[in-house]
Amino acid sequence: MTDEFTLGDRKVRRLGYGAMQLAGPGAFGPPHDPDSARAVLREAVACGVNHIDTSDFYGPHIVNRLIREALYPYPADLVIVTKVGARRGDRGAWLPAVSRDELIAAVHDNLRNLGLDALEVVNFRAMFSAHGPAEGSIEAPLAVLAELQQQGLIRHIGLSNVTPAQIAEGRRICAIACVQNHYNLAHRSDDALIDDLARDGVAYVAFFPLGGFSPLQSATLTEVAQRLGATPMQIALAWLLRRSPNLLAIPGTSSLAHLRENLAASELDLPDDLEILLR
């Protein structure tokens, strides 16, 4: 199992870090302990993480500022991936933000708060449904991002929370560097999509990589974890890394101990019969 895959034109470790949980509850407002949040970011990089997923609508603005405070000037190999297409309401609601002006403002907010001249990867986050990918044209917002890419503000464009039809539509507008969707051991609706992207050499980034397991899956995870001297969540992350060479995972946490536990999952050697057991 290879430890790296190409994201845009950069090699990253397949087990990255999702920064959403560094904000307050529901990714809204400031964290209870900003010093602890910055310590988690520094520890992630010290442990070899070179792919951090974020967005300026986490907080909003707060998580990107924490990343800059903790890590700037950034290590040469660090790839920071952000996303646009949403905004937060006054009470934390997740709202679409896909007009030309909103997308341009979001890119500039990310640049300013991260302290960057260009964003390595920007994912357009489709917001047609609150419950997962739903059909709808992404041509207009993606054309705006492609224009910003031509201006040099964005290096690579990805898609998040999208369907195969939307990916096909997006590819007619610009090169798609990655697809970021909900996927884990219990939520496998993108199985065919992952395999299709693997054939094209495109990264599939799994968000919410843990949770939602059936009682049988949970029992099996516990059994395998005990056999390997690991935790059930480590087994679930290791399963993701074994699933396909183009699959990247971005588990998030605000805990140093949990961060170290997650990252140790990449060292696990899973039994060959695990996939059969977990079906």
Catalytic residue positions, numbered: 58
Residue 143, CA atoms < 13 Å, CB-side half-sphere: 6
Helix axes 34-46, 256-263, angle to 10 degrees: 20
Identify which of 97, 99, 35, 15 has the alpha carbon closest to the alpha carbon of residue 60.
Answer: 97
Total Cβ atoms within 10 A of residue 194: 19
Structure tokens at 100: 């030309």
Residues β-bridged to residue 55: none
Identify which of 74, 182, 183, 84 has the alpha carbon closest to the alpha carbon of residue 125.
Answer: 84
Q: Are 124 and 138 in contact (CB under 8 A)?
A: yes
Q: Are 60 and 88 in contact (CB under 8 A)?
A: yes
Structure tokens at 235: 């087994």
Strand order in the sheet with 51-53: 17-18, 51-53, 79-84, 119-125, 154-160, 176-182, 203-207, 247-249
Task: Please report which helix (H) or strand (E) contains residue 247, including its range.
Answer: strand 247-249
